Amino acid sequence: MRKIFGAAVVAIGVVAAVAGCQGDTASPAPPGASGTQASSGSQQPGATQQPGGTQQPGGTQQPGGTQQPGGTQQPGGNSPGVPATAGGGKCLDPASPVVTAAVATLGRAGNEAPFLPDGASANALPDCPQLLWARYTAGGSASSPSHILFFDHTGYLGTATQRETSYASVTGSTDTAVQVQYRWLVGDEPFCCPQGGPVTVTFTLDGGAVTPDRSIPSEVTDPFQPATGCPVDTATLVTALSGTEVETRLAKPVELEDAKCANGWASARSGSHGGTTQPARVLFQYTARAWRPVDVGSALRCAEFGAPEQLCG
């Protein structure tokens, strides 16, 4: 019975399952490793997990958390040495029952978009590494939320982080280890070009357990996640606008009302100044422990930024 745990993770406890893979299509990997680069995506960043995870007999593996004993098995099993994820001549086929069942446990992302394939181990049968990975992203922007899922030959192991993250990508791998690079926004830089990091974390499989070689940065694992209601008021959002390009597009003095929040995003309606200006919606994201304006308009499309669409309605 396997557990995913992060022995090297400090207070942020990271759930990780490793995908070691050789021969993937990759960005330059460390010496001696062959890597696969998954394109960057956008989410909200991951969260913490208690070391050792939670084990349940039976059931379905929860992303970054609960592990079902023995992984998720493909019905009927496979020949010895052939991973349960195999299909179409590849060691990992996104259309295989094991992979599709694993993805189903993720649900929808915070932006309400479904998770779709966005990179995976590309090894061909029969030369399969001990661990394989697949990256699934919700949305088409650089900051769209994504999950990195990991598998061994018997089934699904879990996700690299409990929550979806933005800007995480696989940069290299060996037979039993995978390197995941993390980046994050630190200021008012464009969503395409995060300046935080990069920090590369190597996850290694040893005897059915997976451990990272360092803790994942708190900017990734400890994102702002509102529980109920809206935890930010309009006065705070007005302050967040100060000195930004978005502020220059609003009538002065800046007035905001009707704040809404969801999954680390917020929006508020600009004032009409007695009917002299057209009200517009201002979109904010909580990054690097601060609210930052993203865009303003009377017909914003939140999905373009990876934000929950109801905030722009």
Three-state secondary structure call for residue 104? helix
Q: Are 168 and 258 found together in one domain?
A: no
Give the chain's mean pLDDT.
Answer: 74
Q: Are 75 and 199 found together in one domain?
A: yes
Structural domain that includes position 187: 54-221
Say if residue 67's pLDDT is above 90. Answer: no
Q: Are 148 and 271 found together in one domain?
A: no
Select the more confidently predicted residue: 139 or 89. 89
User: Where is the domain boundary, 198, 221, 244?
Assistant: 221
Select the more confidently predicted residue: 263 or 74. 263
pLDDT tens sequence across 97-116: 999 999 999 988 877 789 99
Non-local CB neighbours of 101 within 8 Å, separated by 6+ positions? 60, 72, 156
In a domain, 74, yes or no: yes
Q: Are 182 and 119 found together in one domain?
A: yes
Select the more confidently predicted residue: 258 or 33. 258
Q: Are 110 and 257 found together in one domain?
A: no
By C-alpha distance, which of 184, 156, 182, 157 is closest to 171? 182
Lowest mean pLDDT: which of 75-89, 171-185, 246-260?
Answer: 75-89
Q: Are 149 and 243 found together in one domain?
A: no
pTM of the model: 0.54
φ/ψ region of 104 (left if φ > 0, alpha if ψ in -120 to 50, else beta) reads: alpha
At 128 the pLDDT is 92
How far is the C-alpha of 3 from the C-alpha of 67, rounded, in Å?
6
Q: Would you call the peptide bond into 97 cis, given omega within 30 degrees of 0 as the criterion? A: no
In a domain, 37, yes or no: no
Average pLDDT (149-155) is: 89
At 183 the pLDDT is 92
Q: Kind and range of the H or E element at 135?
A: strand 131-137
Amino acid at 85: T
Q: Are 192 and 61 found together in one domain?
A: yes
In a domain, 3, yes or no: no
How far is the C-alpha of 313 from the C-alpha of 310, rounded, in Å?
5
Say if residue 39's pLDDT is above 60. Answer: no
In a domain, 250, yes or no: yes
Q: Are 149 and 172 found together in one domain?
A: yes
Q: Are 89 and 201 found together in one domain?
A: yes
Say if residue 29's pLDDT is above 60. Answer: no
How far is the C-alpha of 266 from the C-alpha of 312, rounded, in Å?
9
The count of structural domains within the chain is 2
Lowest mean pLDDT: which of 155-159, 229-233, 294-298?
Answer: 229-233
In a domain, 11, yes or no: no
pLDDT tens sequence across 155-206: 898 888 888 888 999 999 989 888 999 998 776 677 788 888 999 998 888 7
Average pLDDT (61-73) is: 37
Q: Are 241 and 263 found together in one domain?
A: yes
Q: Are 190 and 58 found together in one domain?
A: yes
Three-state secondary structure call for residue 158? strand
At 272 the pLDDT is 74
How far is the C-alpha of 18 from the C-alpha of 160, rounded, in Å?
8
Average pLDDT (147-157) is: 89
Q: Are 214 and 73 found together in one domain?
A: yes
At 209 the pLDDT is 73
In a domain, 40, yes or no: no
In a domain, 192, yes or no: yes
Say if residue 223's pLDDT is above 60. Answer: no
In a domain, 33, yes or no: no
